[in-house]
A = this chain, B = another copy of it.
């Protein structure tokens, strides 16, 4: 279990204490739970300029550099004065998801009832719980209504769960490469990733030692993730059939031979040391289970109750995991529910992860939405 992964000299995190008990959507409660978050820009006196940002599966709340933590954030370039998420105008709050391992309560945290980490005794985690935790962070800041809630990937799903549970708590919403319900293809991929971890003998039913996490399972899970976060076309341009550097080719039989293999290995090694395996399992399963329609009677009805003014849905053609037709359907439902909706299908080459890479095009859409209309 890897509780506090990033040892940083600087730390911009703040912590919101969740209501105790905090009821989980599928049953069970948490006691003494907290959410780590970071903020950028000032909250207006009327408290009406807050943007709430939910992350993808693996990032922390550190979306961008700030005075308290000048290290580069996961969405650096998107956030700051004059940037698409303009911190001269908006007060941005980015939360580390409930269930994650960068300061928020999750399976790697200490269960106050036992004094030992929860591990697999953590209650069932749902996308709905992550949304509620974000809502509570806003409440702790005295914000009744967010100007806009934003989320890419998993974060996009959390945005939808927020709308379903807290009607009127957000004026506008931006969903980036998210989905109202995982497809069987995405479920298949994620369940194979989880299986690689669960079957790693070092997982030990969730009770792995700190110094011996299920590294093989995590590496395989991450490599599979990389395959679906990017696109075949990007890799063809970038790697082609280039050989791996000789020092990376390894001497064991069937070792890496191509550059694409060492690229995956480098990313995978990094992941093993930066994310807790049990947290990964919990969040991954929550993504499979999420189905906005259960808040029904239809997703249009869910959105109508949410009373959004405007919505932006961005999707990418080369995304295998959250395909464009799911983005289109989402935009159609939002529009039908009465939100002034912009659907932005982008033909970026980088697949699902394009929002992290093609900041120019994503920035243009977000900037136009936030500044406009």
Contact = CB atoms under 8 A, between A and B. Distances in A.
Interface in A194-229: 194-196, 198-199, 201, 205-206, 216, 219-220, 223-224, 226-227
Given A188-B261, A199-B216, A254-B285, A241 B323 contact: no
Contacts of A198: 252-254
A219 B195 CA distance: 10
A187 interface: yes
B216 A258 contact: no
The 7 closest A-B pairs by CB, nearest first: A185-B232, A184-B260, A184-B235, A184-B239, A199-B216, A192-B223, A191-B261
How many monomers of this protein are in the complex? 2
Contacts of A38: none
A212 to B, nearest CB: 14
A333 to B, nearest CB: 17
A349 to B, nearest CB: 13
A140 interface: no
14 contacts: A181-B241, A182-B241, A185-B235, A185-B236, A187-B260, A188-B226, A188-B261, A188-B264, A191-B261, A192-B220, A195-B219, A196-B196, A199-B220, A232-B320
**Which of A120, A216, A253, A291 neighbours the largest number of chain B CB atoms within 10 Å of its CB?**
A253
Contacts of A181: 241
Nearest to A224: B192
Interface string A13-46: 0000000000000000000000000000000000
Contacts of A273: none
Contact of A288 (B239, B258, B288): B258
A183 B257 CA distance: 14
Nearest to A261: B191
A279 B89 CA distance: 62
Contacts of A216: 199
Contacts of A224: 192, 224
A220 B223 contact: no
A253 B188 contact: no
Nearest to A239: B184
A281 interface: yes
A270 interface: no
B188 A235 contact: yes
A169 to B, nearest CB: 27
A196 B195 CA distance: 11
Nearest to A194: B254
A110 interface: no
A183 B232 contact: yes
A226 B320 CA distance: 15
B188 A260 contact: yes
A285 to B, nearest CB: 6
A240 interface: yes
A145 B272 CA distance: 55
B235 A254 contact: no
A258 B192 contact: no
Interface in A229-268: 231-232, 235-236, 238-241, 252-254, 256-261, 264
Interface in A78-123: 120
B285 A184 contact: no
**Which of A199, A252, A256, A285 neighbours the largest number of chain B CB atoms within 10 Å of its CB?**
A199
